Amino acid sequence: MIRGLRGATTVTQNIEMDIIHSTEELIKTMISQNDVEATDVASVFISVTPDINATFPAKALRRIPNWTYVPVMCMKEIDVDGSLPFCIRVMMHIHTNKEQHQMNHVYLKDTTVLRPELQKNKLVGDLNEVE
């Protein structure tokens, strides 16, 4: 079965290294909290709000060992008045036997206000150990 795994984070400004670092932190947290292996990932969509254009956040995924061949696409979020600025959203499509309610969706930084009903408030270990 393929399931969608959601995640979101924010940056404080439109700077390449901030975008890459925040995206990498988000993806590693999604991997860690859901025991995701790169070979189980069908695709990853990454969207950004219109105020982010300094780099492709997908570059972060390429820094993670064994994720070279995972298909990833970046796109712009629709520009809705009053929406959260400087926001990066990830939709990861993974092969899993887990039920939908077992997926640990991840919302970091200012995005904790988004979809609070999906957040399980799990503690995260050392993100540098994720492969």
Annotated catalytic residue, options 16, 62, 63, 131: 62
37 is catalytic: no
Nearest residue to 61 (alpha-carbon basis) of 90, 23, 7: 23
Annotated catalytic residue, options 6, 16, 24, 131: 6
Annotated catalytic residue, options 24, 37, 69, 77: 77
Could you say which DSSP state residue 78 is in? Answer: P
63 is catalytic: no
Annotated catalytic residue, options 24, 25, 87, 107: 107
Side-chain half-sphere CA neighbours of 122 within 13 A: 16
Annotated catalytic residue, options 37, 63, 115, 131: 115
Spatial separation of the C-alpha atoms in residues 19 and 2, rounded to whole Å: 28
74 is catalytic: yes
- Distance between terminal CA atoms of the chain? 23
Catalytic residue list: 6, 62, 74, 77, 89, 107, 115
